[in-house]
Structure 1
Amino acid sequence: MVFEFQQKVLFKHCDPAGIVFYPRYFEIINDCVEAFFDKVLGWPFETLLKDGGVPTVQIATEFKAPNRHGDWLLLQLHVAKLGRTSMSLEIAASTEGEARFEVKQTLVCVDKAGKPRVWPEAVQDMLKAKGTDQ
């Protein structure tokens, strides 16, 4: 299962040269993850954050080519592995079919105290139903 998320590169994402300032890509990546939790898992962050969270504990990004103001990014998110308390994501981003960056990211499901907790059964069931790698 691949979740697709589109983002137009806005003025706020760019440096004075009109290309994306790389930390802004991490905001776009997080927007993609947040949309995935809402639209696919049915667990929007405004609900999830009431009694815990899903912080990123590891992220590796390879930048392939720059984006410019006005470009459209297509992010394709794939859950590579669902562990007991962690989730490994892979995200490939492209513009008009040209690779822009690739991400490998690990999230951990935590309780209010920041301690790892098992993914809710509904989340596990949804990912299994969507054909997520286990």
Structure 2
Amino acid sequence: MTFHWQRKVRFRDCDPAGIVFYPRYFEMMNDLVETFFDDAIGWSFGAMHGEDGVGVPMGQIEARFTAPSRLGDMLDWRLTLSRIGGATADLVMVAEGAGARRLRATGTLVCVDVAAMKSCRWPDRIRPRLTEYLEESET
């Protein structure tokens, strides 16, 4: 299954050339991951970091930017998981606007105990929800 999310490019996202300043895409990807966990997995960052004492920092990320995005563009984001390990999950994130791919990124989330700052296994109640977004084909 694929998680879908839309985000409009705001003035704050753009550089003087009028296109999205590339670090802003990484902020958008963080918003995508947070929204994915909240809306699709049912595990908000508030509950995750608060009562569960768990975090999901990005351990690795790589992005390929293929076309610029401009102020006012509506970006259609897709997120899928390509692998789920004991304490990690590899994901693929794609943003498109007006039918054209803007970027494709791959990354690895690491499930960590926030008190110890060490990796920990995905909680038993969360792993089955993650597997619903596991796809073998490339997004």
Name the TM tier (shorter chain). over 0.9
In the alignment, is residue 114 of structure 1 matched against residue 117 of structure 2? yes
Q: Is this contact kept in 1: 2:83–2:89, CA < 8 A? A: yes
Deviations 1:13-67 (A, max 9, x none): 0012211000000000010000000011111111111212111010000000000
Q: Is this contact kept in 2: 1:8–1:70, CA < 8 A? A: yes
Question: Aligned equivalents of 2:134 and 2:62: distance in 1?
Answer: 21
SS class of match (1:121): coil
Give the Å deviation of 1:98. Answer: 0.3
Partner of 1:96: 98
Q: Is this contact kept in 1: 2:63–2:103, CA < 8 A? A: yes
Flag as ranges the 4+ runs of structure 1 deviating above 6 A: none
Q: Is this contact kept in 1: 2:20–2:69, CA < 8 A? A: yes
Deviations 1:83-133 (A, max 9, x none): 0000000011100110100000100000021111000111111123x2524
SS class of match (1:65): coil
Question: Aligned equivalents of 1:115 and 1:133: distance in 2?
Answer: 27
**Unmatched segments (≥5 aa) in structure 2:** none
TM-score scaled by length of structure 1:
0.95
**Unmatched segments (≥5 aa) in structure 1:** none
Q: Per the alignment, do residues 65 and 131 of structure 1 end up closer, same or farther by CA in structure 2, a change over 3 Å counting?
A: closer
TM-score scaled by length of structure 2:
0.91
Query: What is the identity percentage for the equivalent residue pairs of Structure 1 and Structure 2?
Result: 44
